[in-house]
Structure formats: C-alpha cells, structure tokens
Amino acid sequence: MTGETVSRASKKLSQLGLRGRDGRDPVISGISVDSRTVKPGHLFAALPGSTVHGAEFISYALRMEAGAVLTDRAGARMAAEAFADWDGAVIVAEEPRAALAGAAALWFEAQPEHVVAVTGTSGKTSVATFTRQIWQALGYQAISLGTMGVEGDYHAKLAHTTPEPVTLHRVLSEAAGAGVTHAAMEASSHGLDQRRLDGVRVEAGAFTNFSQDHLDYHADFDEYFAAKALLFNYILEDGESAVINIDSEHGRRMADIAKDQGLALTTIGTGDDAMLRILGQRYDATGQDLRFSVMGQTHMVRLPLIGGFQAENVLAAMGLALATGGAAEAIIAVLPELQTVRGRMQLAAQRDNGAAVFVDYAHKPGALIAALQSLRPHVMGRIIVVFGAGGDRDRGKRKLMGEAARQYADVAIVTDDNPRSEDPASIRAAIMEGAGPEATEIGDRAEAILRGVDALQPGDALLIAGKGHETGQIVGQDVYPFDDAEQASVAVAALDGRI
C-alpha cells in the first residue's frame, strides 16, 4: 500500500464519521463483506445476517490481517475477545449496511455521470437493457447492470441482481474509468431493503409493476411494496424524475408517493392520463407495431419484440432516456433497433416459409404459461413447444409443466434439460404425465429441436423453452456445450437447404 493510498483511505473513512474506538482514523487497503475475501489491510464489514452474524468470522478476518472492522453493537460484543489484543480500528455503526455502502461509495469514488434505476416485480431486466440500448444508439457509452450481469460498453459477471455495495460501487467506478457515462441498473426489493444502493447518485427511477413475489423474504405484501418505494429516496434532488407505470392500483399508489416526495413524474400506461401512452399494438410473427403518444403527440414504431407487455417496458426505458436528457424524436427513431434480452423470447431463427423459432428461459410452470400466452397473439398457425425440466430441482413442477404445454401449446415435444444426477427418462416420464398422450418424447435435445423445426408450417411458431441464454447441458457432473439458439439456426439451415 502506498502512502498516498493510506491517507486517501483514512481521510475518506473519517469523512463518513467512521472512526476507530480510540478516535484514530482507520487505514485500509480495500473493503470486504465476506471474511473469505479479506486481504491484508481490508476493512471487513461484519454484518448481522439472516443465518449468522458476520462477527462470527472476525477472528478469521483478523488472521487474514484485516486493517479495520465495521460492525454493529452486537457484533462488537461478540468479537470483544478477538479485539482485545488487536490494535486495528473497530468501527461500530447503528446501521452497518448503510455505513458499509457509504464507505464503498467513498472508496471507489467514481460513477457514471448518469445513473438510473428500475424496480418492480417484472420487467426490470428488459427496461434496464432497453434503456442501455437507447443510450448506445444515441451514441453514449452505456451499461445495464442486473440479472444478466453488467452488459454494454463494460462487462462484468454479477452474483446478484442488485449487487452488495462493495461490488456495486467497484463496478460503477470501473465502468466510469472505462469511459461509460450512462448506467441503467436493476433495483431488487432485497437490494433496496438492504440499502445496497446507498451512495449511488440516481438521476431517475422507474417502477414497472407489482405482484406477489419474494414473500419468503418480506413479511407481507405491504412490506414488499414499501421496499420498492425506497427507490425514490435515492433520486438526486437535481434529477427529480420518476417514471411510473400507472395502469395498476399499485402503480398509482407509487405515483402518489413519488409526487409527495416532490419528484417530477413521467407516467406510462394505456389510460388517457398517461404521458407516454400505449394506443394500440398489432402483432405478427416477428414482433409488433406500436402506436403510442408522447405528451399527446401520436407516433408509430416497429418493435422486433414478442409480447404485449414489452410495449410498457419500451416506454419505461424511453421515460428514463428522456429523464437523462434525451430528445423524444431521437429516442423514437432508435426504438426499432431494440433487441430483446438474450434468451428471453429471443428470435433465434426463421424458416423460409416465415415460421419463427424463439428461445426462452421459462423453466417453471408459471413462466412457461406466460411465455406461451405472450406468443399466442403473434401466431396465426400452431405453437409447437420443445421443453424439459431440470434434474435435482423441484420435482413437483414437472407434471405441471407438462400440463401447461398441453393447455397452452398446440404441439408438445418433451426433451431433456440439465438432468444433472437424475435419470433423464424418469424426469421426462413425470412431464409426460401432465403433457398427455399426444405429446412426443425425444430425449436428445438437439434431435427434439430438429423435429420441432421440421414440423413448422407457414404461420406456425416454435418455442424452445427452459435454457434461454445458457450455453451448456448439465449431465451428471459434466457440462456439455449446448446452445438452444445455435441449435435452432443449425436445424433451420439444414432443413431449408442453406448448408
């Protein structure tokens, strides 16, 4: 550690009021929330957890030569013995998660000039991705950050949708260092509740929609809703923008909360009070035409996107792009370039007869139903679905997935999907119980895809469900390269005589 780094670090932590027990400024070389990643000189944040208190690991962190420890009162009591003959700094904070985020923000310093965040039960990934794509099409260096990792003009893998503060601030700072000026991030309710966004300067926030989810974490529906509303606390005073879908009762409540906080609202929806308003959608095999109005002015655009709900996501992204200074006409001009999130209703190939092949990540009964329902208005002919269910995972869903295919598709082909340690034939048998006798069973996934593609008549569509953007099939301990989209292209090329 250089002398310069030492003084920078200690100055920063004391700026935050993070002082050691004896009033000395702590000197650190980095920050860790997990004892297993502590390096000499690190500040170790020992947080109270749901299964264990991070203070359990303080002795280990000290052996790893941590330079300072941040914890709460309970943690300090638990580690009193370990601290007794240690002369590093112990910082005791009332709200250690908030203190950690503040320390991470100071430590990593830089972030892109424009950061927006999107919350809501579904649509977060699409809105963040579309917002990033709009910015890129307008010529800015941009990233999206969330379930798909960090994508765009800087790349990183993430373990969480909304990463813990050390990772979040590190990634934002590295992206800014690489020249990224615009970032669109997903704000999960866990992330908001755990204050993972503290220290991020958010210029505008969007709320998509709200339905039952994560009640294993949040005590009830109201608490879950309140966590989502926390997003507005992060919006910069001089940004003052909230983009809210007001088609639902929850959306209208959220709009009232944002208004009460003095934020300028951009509303989205189908009603005549929506500023970005959906006027009509016409679906076809590869996407949709969207008729919409922006502050009363009517426009039409072609969107290469499947599913009626995508119009709301596109307008939310447009709202965020407007909030960060984009001009409406310029944004509208680039909307036809938007591409779906990888592996989510992704158009993978198209046969010479016009029939389209889509790849989607749906691997649970509800998601399979939603995917098939969203595809239906685009398809004049039949929907053929190729799908399976993973081994060593919830067995109860297998029959239900079969039933979903039987009810919502016209032709079902049951195949393998990451059998892991289980016998693939018995997984397929469980699915077939729900899929019924009309369904076809083909264990080999490539063969199943080929058969599905071969069956496509003009006006039909094929949905290959389950793996989405994954690039491997897990059999036993081995991972074999396998990419549904690639297999679809190969099958189409072979059957249409392109190879």
* Residues flagged as binding site: 35, 120-126, 161-162, 188, 194, 196, 393, 417-420, 466, 470
Long-range contacts of 455-459 (CB under 8 A, 24+ apart): 455/384, 455/411, 456/351, 456/353, 456/355, 456/357, 456/384, 457/353, 457/355, 457/381, 457/382, 458/353, 458/354, 458/355, 458/381, 459/285, 459/354, 459/355, 459/379, 459/380, 459/381, 459/382
Reduce the DSSP state of residue 138 to 3 states and report it: coil
Instruction: In angstroms, give the least distance from the CB of 491 to ligand UAG.
Output: 32
Count the residues of the shown chain that bind ligand UAG, applying the rule CB under 6 A: 19
Reduce the DSSP state of residue 270 to 3 states and report it: coil
Q: What is the CA radius of gyration of the chain?
A: 25
Site string for ligand UAG, 189-228 (x = CB under 6 A): -xx-------------------------x-----------
Instruction: In angstroms, give the least distance from the CB of 153 to ligand UAG.
Output: 23
Q: How far apart are the first and last CA of the chain?
A: 58
Task: Tell me if 396 sits within 8 A of 301, measured CB to CB.
Answer: no
The token pair that represents 386 in the structure block: 């190729």
Q: Hunting for tokens 């989209």 — which residue is that?
A: 485
The interface region with ligand UAG, picked from 6-14, 185-193, 367-375, 417-425 by CB under 6 A, is: 185-193
Reduce the DSSP state of residue 462 to 3 states and report it: strand
Nearer to ligand UAG, 36 or 438 (CB): 36
Instruction: In angstroms, give the least distance from the CB of 164 to ligand UAG.
Output: 4
Is 151 one of the binding residues for ligand UAG (CB under 6 A)? no
Nearer to ligand UAG, 46 or 356 (CB): 46
The interface region with ligand UAG, picked from 154-162, 335-343, 433-441, 455-463 by CB under 6 A, is: 154-162
Task: Tally Cβ neighbours within 10 Å of residue 229.
Answer: 18
Neighbour-count burial for 62-83, b at 16+ CB within 10 Å, e otherwise: bebebbbbbbbeebbebbeebb
Binding-site residues for ATP, please? 120-126
Instruction: In angstroms, give the least distance from the CB of 145 to ligand UAG.
Output: 11
The closest residue (CB) to ligand UAG is 49
The interface region with ligand UAG, picked from 157-165, 292-300, 351-359, 396-404 by CB under 6 A, is: 157-165
Nearer to ligand UAG, 82 or 495 (CB): 82
Site string for ligand UAG, 124-143 (x = CB under 6 A): --------------------
The interface region with ligand UAG, picked from 13-21, 110-118, 187-195, 423-431 by CB under 6 A, is: 187-195
- Distance separating alpha carbons of residues 402 and 430, to the nearest angstrom: 8
Is 364 one of the binding residues for ligand UAG (CB under 6 A)? no
- Distance separating alpha carbons of residues 375 and 377, to the nearest angstrom: 6
Residues 254-293 interacting with ligand UAG (rule: CB under 6 A): none
Nearer to ligand UAG, 38 or 331 (CB): 38
Nearer to ligand UAG, 158 or 491 (CB): 158
Residues 49-78 interacting with ligand UAG (rule: CB under 6 A): 49-52, 54, 57
User: Which residue in the set 129, 161, 350, 415 belongs to the binding site for ligand UAG (CB under 6 A)?
Assistant: 161
Nearer to ligand UAG, 57 or 135 (CB): 57
List 205's β-bridge partners, or say none. 117, 242
- Distance separating alpha carbons of residues 103 and 17, to the nearest angstrom: 10
Is 160 one of the binding residues for ligand UAG (CB under 6 A)? yes
Long-range contacts of 351-354 (CB under 8 A, 24+ apart): 351/453, 351/456, 351/492, 351/495, 351/496, 352/496, 353/456, 353/457, 353/458, 354/285, 354/458, 354/459
Nearer to ligand UAG, 61 or 106 (CB): 61
List 265's β-bridge partners, or say none. 242
User: Which residue in the set 29, 188, 267, 350 belongs to the binding site for ligand UAG (CB under 6 A)?
Assistant: 188
Nearer to ligand UAG, 14 or 37 (CB): 37
Residues 31-50 interacting with ligand UAG (rule: CB under 6 A): 33-36, 47, 49-50
Binding-site residues for meso-2,6-diaminopimelate, please? 393, 417-420, 466, 470
The interface region with ligand UAG, picked from 63-71, 136-144, 172-180, 188-196 by CB under 6 A, is: 188-196
Which run of H or of E encompasses 287?
A: strand 287-294
Neighbour-count burial for 386-400, b at 16+ CB within 10 Å, e otherwise: bbbbbbebeeebbbb
Task: Tell me if 349 sits within 8 A of 332, measured CB to CB.
Answer: no
Backbone angles phi, psi at 376, to 5 degrees: -50, -50
The token pair that represents 34 in the structure block: 């997990």
Instruction: In angstroms, give the least distance from the CB of 90 to ligand UAG.
Output: 16
Binding interface with ligand UAG (CB under 6 A): 33-36, 47, 49-52, 54, 57, 160-162, 164, 188, 190-191, 217
